[in-house]
């Protein structure tokens, strides 16, 4: 049986899926048609139910629980992994810090400040909305375009994700707030960024099989970290190997093998907090496989 599979070309995803798509492990008779896209494009494809299995932002998943269900393997959760709100103009940075988490001393939403976001349904935008509910002047763009947009003065602030955490400072850009730390302070738990979802309509045995295969693929990558490096580098947008390794170390961890009790609690908390402030609709579906 062949299933369509979508994930990003970022090192954390290619690290996870290398063994699975290149038959380095037992795939239990399954094969995969792979689609590489940035996370917001994958989110949009999921709204159309284009793919059998897909990487998906947890924010987007809140709108898609009737079509997809979350696998226990393959997720990106953790501490210190959240998106950053950055700028070029130091005038936007307060030295006062956050006062009781909200509101931020900078009245972001009360001005015409343009904020670049990596997509409406990304977890990055969810966290921005949670931290700064007044922020409305948002401009959607590809995640890798945000640094350049700041430097070219197309936007005033930007929310960066993925490998841009490691590159923004060398370009003269500055951090306003770590939105992941904001979440950790608020909930005392890890931030759920993205997970691997599979169509609910697929047979239960296929869904369970895919979950096992992904777990096996992640474990293989941990056990043989150099095995997929050529593949990872070929899709990593000219990142240095040092940045690639930092990227993998940051986003692939024990939660990528299995969410476990802590991971599942974090996902539930994510949905509860987002629904509480009206960012996402309430879901009556079971979130987990």
Q: Which residues are annotated as a binding site for substrate?
A: 55-57, 123-124
- Nearest CA to 75 out of 58, 94, 60 is that of 58
Instruction: Identify the active-site residue in 59, 72, 162, 247.
Output: 162
Question: CB–CB of 251/76 below 8 Å?
Answer: yes
Q: Which strands sit side by side in the sheet containing 157-160, from one edge to the other?
A: 138-140, 115-117, 157-160, 84-87, 174-178
Assess contact for 273 and 187: CB atoms under 8 A: yes
Which letter does DSSP use for residue 56 in this model?
Answer: E
Binding positions:
55-57, 123-124
Query: Whole-angstrom Cα distance, residue 13 to residue 36?
Result: 10
Going by the DSSP 8-state scheme, the letter that residue 225 receives in this structure is T
CB 248 within 8 A of CB 209: no
Give residue 162's Cα distance to chain centre.
Answer: 8
Catalytic residue flag (residue 275): no
Residues involved in catalysis: 162
């Amino acid at each position: 049986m062949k299933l369509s599979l979508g994930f990003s070309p970022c090192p954390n995803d290619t690290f996870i899926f290398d063994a699975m798509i290149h038959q380095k492990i037992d795939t239990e008779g399954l094969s995969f048609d792979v689609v590489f896209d940035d996370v917001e494009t994958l989110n949009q494809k999921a709204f159309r139910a284009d793919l059998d299995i897909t990487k998906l932002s947890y924010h987007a998943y809140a709108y898609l629980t009737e079509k997809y269900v979350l696998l226990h393997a393959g997720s990106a959760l953790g501490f210190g992994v959240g998106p950053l709100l950055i700028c070029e103009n130091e005038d936007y940075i307060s030295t006062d810090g956050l006062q009781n988490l909200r509101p931020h001393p900078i009245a972001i939403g009360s001005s015409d400040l343009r904020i670049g976001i990596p997509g409406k349904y990304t977890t990055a935008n969810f966290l921005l909305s949670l931290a700064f509910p007044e922020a409305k002047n948002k401009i959607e763009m590809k995640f890798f375009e945000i640094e350049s947009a700041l430097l070219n003065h197309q936007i005033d602030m930007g929310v960066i994700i993925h490998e841009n955490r490691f590159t923004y400072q060398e370009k003269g850009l500055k951090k306003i707030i770590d939105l992941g730390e904001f979440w950790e302070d608020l909930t005392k738990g890890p931030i759920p960024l993205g997970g691997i979802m599979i169509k609910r309509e697929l047979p239960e045995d296929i869904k369970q099989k895919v979950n096992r295969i992904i777990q096996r693929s992640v474990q293989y990558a941990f056990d043989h970290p150099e095995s997929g490096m050529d593949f990872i580098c070929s899709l990593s947008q000219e990142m240095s190997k040092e940045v690639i390794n930092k990227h993998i170390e940051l986003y692939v961890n024990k939660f990528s093998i299995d969410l476990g009790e802590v991971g599942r609690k974090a996902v539930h908390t994510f949905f509860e907090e987002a629904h509480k402030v009206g960012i996402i609709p309430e879901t009556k579906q079971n979130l987990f496989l």
